[in-house]
Structure 1
């Protein structure tokens, strides 16, 4: 299974990197004569962020020239254009294409599966997972913990393996207004030679699959963090300066390796409330197609329309694999680099109150510490 997952990951990254930038249409949204995602739904940044020192990104407006590629709504089946930078990874903004730097290209929503629907379901769940995590982290929400005694045997076995080597596993229900099961998993260790905090998360139509996946991801994250701890220097805490040394995935993980970093993450598992695992909704009845319909419906009920792009290349298709990119305009994005975090997405401010939390004030500052997501 591990080999199959690794191969799928490699194939999805391969397919997402195959594109001709000169084949895309370069245009501002206002000049398009066909349906296209409105820039307001993809603008991640607040107006004041564009004045931050060394801020890389440009405002995305109806007048901004970007490259567009074709996608299909998973809700209605209609064709709709979306920025190529939201689809392909790595996406290179360079002078020859004259496309504006409007968003951080990242792999969220990329997926490989044995069928188109299986891949689309996986990609959509990853978008919802990262939406849930970033809202939780930036708003410093103490999400309800999962009662350990109610967990399924598959999870208890994995947790016992972590416990056996001195790692305490914290599990929280971070499901948002979409109602799709989303689980936050934190591994905490007291050993000075081991990462103090490591984080993983997962969203799935099946709560048990989400839980097991989050625990699997935690093992990967901790292994990588331990490698970084051994071979890279400690990342300084620079709250007033905005943590300029936290620029990519490595620094985000390395920041939480020292024992002192526990203080910055403790809110994540601080809730006194617990919930039985069985309280999580189970949307996994039926095959991948039926589960995809359920998750798309829930996403639409939260006010978002998922869009899919088929990235399967001609050399991969004969293998029976399907690679897609799912983009959900309006969902809160994951970002790398504390100075590139998204403060302009309405869900960051709207979702916490819907879930019963106070949340952030519009225009206020978010969590002053970088996220630990890999």
Structure 2
């Protein structure tokens, strides 16, 4: 997991690098918010115009009972980034051992895009994919997950880290975002444009190179290097694709160790 971030495909190297850099922005914003417990404005999903967002959120609610919450996490670079979370109403309750109906307390995902609504949709699509396997694993490995909550040294990889927060004993660690009220409740949040007011990196040029330069500048003017490695293979070229790996050494790495 600590090596794939920043890899992307595109119709040309510039497009691949642009998507790779946006993915790094997504990862960095999520981890920065988590580690530093930064306040993040909640987004009122009723104010979005893309109907797919409401449909996916409602589908999740009907399938598992989870309520979808979203938060704008855009840091200084201004690229719209979002933290999307599925929270179950029983998040603080401990199910009976072996209960086949037990549901994860919370499952998280993130998204980024120059359009805030697309950033939300990207996060929601990732959340939808993650929720299925988290539900199955939580029911099958609940005892092991509880052991990781008690002893963080047992957390070995990203899968463990994700499953850890399915457990109700870990739910209050999200208090900096959710408060201490009933799970999934509280104020509806801010209208999407207001929540993403800080997200001012929204290139709309007709040349991908210009867009890439604008985004790269967001990082370099803060003293961060942007490195692009061309990983295009013959197979990619045969399909009319380019592959890039983007590295920004100053951003937070996607790794796991107990204090995290």
Given the two structures, how large is their TM-score scaled by the length of structure 1? 0.58
Is the contact made by 2:77 and 2:201 (CA closer than 8 Å) also made in structure 1?
A: no
Q: Which blocks of at least 5 consecutive residues in structure 2 are unaligned? A: 96-101, 180-185
* Residue matched to 1:249: 158
| RMSD of equivalent CA atoms | 2.4
Is the contact made by 2:44 and 2:188 (CA closer than 8 Å) also made in structure 1?
A: no
Could you tell me how far 1:190 is from its partner in structure 2? 3.3
* Residue matched to 1:331: 251
* Residue matched to 1:175: 74
Cα 1:305–1:275 change in 2 (3 A) is: farther
* Residue matched to 1:225: 134
Could you tell me how far 1:231 is from its partner in structure 2? 3.3
* Residue matched to 1:163: 61
Distance 2:187 2:147 in 1: 28
Is the contact made by 1:142 and 1:269 (CA closer than 8 Å) also made in structure 2?
A: no
Is the contact made by 2:149 and 2:164 (CA closer than 8 Å) also made in structure 1?
A: no
Could you tell me how far 1:240 is from its partner in structure 2? 8.4
Are 1:211 and 2:120 matched, yes or no?
Answer: yes
Higher helix proportion: 2
Q: 1:198 aligns to what SS in structure 2? A: strand
Distance 2:187 2:217 in 1: 32
Cα 1:286–1:293 change in 2 (3 A) is: same
Cα 1:264–1:163 change in 2 (3 A) is: same
Are 1:188 and 2:103 matched, yes or no?
Answer: no
Runs of 4+ in 1 over 6 A off after TM superposition: none
Q: 1:236 aligns to what SS in structure 2? A: helix
Larger Rg: 1
Distance 1:263 1:294 in 2: 39
Cα 1:231–1:289 change in 2 (3 A) is: farther
Could you tell me how far 1:238 is from its partner in structure 2? 6.3
Distance 1:123 1:178 in 2: 15
Q: Which blocks of at least 5 consecutive residues in structure 1 are unaligned? A: 1-88, 90-104, 340-367
Q: 2:24 aligns to what SS in structure 1? A: helix
